[in-house]
């Protein structure tokens, strides 16, 4: 059980990632460095638009997805689909050190699914991502061939300032994410979640580009 407090204020993911990665940051592709260094000022989100070529979940993943929906709706999508648009907003709030990321998945023949998480640094210099109801995971970052990789290192429930670790068997699995650069304005992302007993439970893969406007994202405006 670890006490969780917030350290220095970070106005962008890049500032946090640069601090955590240290010299490894310099190995990142310059386009990725530039992308994460952009600061979303309060009321001025950054916008990204793209398409998922793959959204998949195993039978066990689907069970995790439906069980978790009342608590963290959108974090674990219990459907299989492909080739549909996704809108992303990255934003900050006044007097808040966290960086928020809102996603709107516009699945085929279903109502859009909205999911918001936020990222911050712990007092121990850990990258923490919260997905709702105090639930979150610690992320480990590394660089390979110029691209940025995230691997979860345990899930937790933040209760009254204390981080209570969750047994791996009760979680959807270990999360692996790759942010791979395609061009100064384009990138692709692949996410896999692998359970200790049941193998891969969730997969997402898609290509995204930076968007200059909020067009088409009105229904998901951050509060």
| Tens digits of residue pLDDT in 156-179 | 999 988 899 999 999 999 999 999
Query: Cα–Cα distances in Å, from 113 out to 62, 76, 181?
Result: 15, 10, 26
Task: Examine the pLDDT at 207 and tell me if it is beyond 50.
Answer: yes
pLDDT at res. 4: 40
Mean pLDDT, residues 195-203 taken together:
98
- Model pLDDT for residues 80-128, shown as the tens digit of each residue: 999 999 999 999 999 898 999 999 999 999 999 999 999 999 988 899 9
- The pLDDT-based confidence of 7 (bands split at 50, 70, 90) is very low
- The pLDDT-based confidence of 150 (bands split at 50, 70, 90) is very high
Computed over every residue of the chain, the mean pLDDT equals 91
Interior angle at CA 136, CA 159 and CA 24, nearest 5: 130
- The pLDDT-based confidence of 13 (bands split at 50, 70, 90) is confident
pLDDT at res. 212: 80
The percent of residues in the chain predicted with pLDDT above 70, rounded, is: 90
The percent of residues in the chain predicted with pLDDT above 90, rounded, is: 78
Q: Tell me which of 6-20, 41-55, 128-142, 202-216 is least confident.
A: 6-20
Q: Give the 3-state DSSP-derived string for the chain, with helices as H, strands as E and coil as C.
A: CEECCECCCCCCHHHHHHHHHHHHHHHCCHHHHHHHHCCCCCCCCEEEEEEEEEEEECHHHHHHHHHHCCCCCCCCCCCCECCEEEEEEEECCCCCCCEEEEEEECCCCCCCEEEEEEEEEECCCCEEEEEECCEEEEEEEEEECCEEEEEEEEEEEEECCEEEECCHHHCCCEEEEEEEEEECCEEEEEEEEEECCCEEEEEEEEEEEEECCCCCCHHHCCC
Which residue is listed with tokens 């195993």? 58
Task: Examine the pLDDT at 64 and tell me if it is beyond 90.
Answer: yes
How far apart (Å, rounded) are the C-alpha atoms in residues 64 and 66? 6
């Amino acid at each position: 059980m670890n006490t969780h407090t917030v350290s220095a204020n970070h106005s962008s993911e890049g500032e946090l990632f640069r601090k955590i990665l240290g010299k490894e940051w310099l190995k990142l592709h310059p386009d990725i460095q530039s992308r994460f260094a952009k600061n979303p000022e309060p009321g001025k989100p950054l916008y990204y638009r793209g398409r998922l070529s793959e959204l998949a979940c195993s039978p066990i993943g689907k069970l995790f997805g439906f069980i978790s929906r009342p608590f963290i709706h959108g974090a674990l999508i219990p459907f299989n689909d492909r080739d549909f648009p996704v809108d992303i907003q990255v934003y900050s709030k006044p007097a808040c050190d966290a960086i928020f990321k809102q996603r709107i998945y516009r699945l085929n023949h279903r109502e859009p699914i909205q999911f918001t998480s936020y990222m911050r640094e712990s007092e121990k210099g850990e990258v923490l991502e919260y997905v709702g109801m105090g639930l979150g995971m610690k992320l480990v970052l590394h660089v390979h061939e110029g691209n940025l990789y995230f691997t979860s290192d345990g899930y937790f429930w933040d209760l009254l300032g204390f981080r209570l670790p969750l047994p791996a068997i009760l979680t959807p699995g270990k999360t692996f994410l790759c942010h791979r650069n395609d061009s100064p304005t384009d990138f692709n992302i692949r996410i896999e979640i692998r359970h200790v007993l049941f193998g891969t439970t969730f997969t997402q893969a898609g290509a995204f580009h930076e968007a200059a406007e909020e067009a088409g994202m009105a229904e998901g405006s951050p509060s």
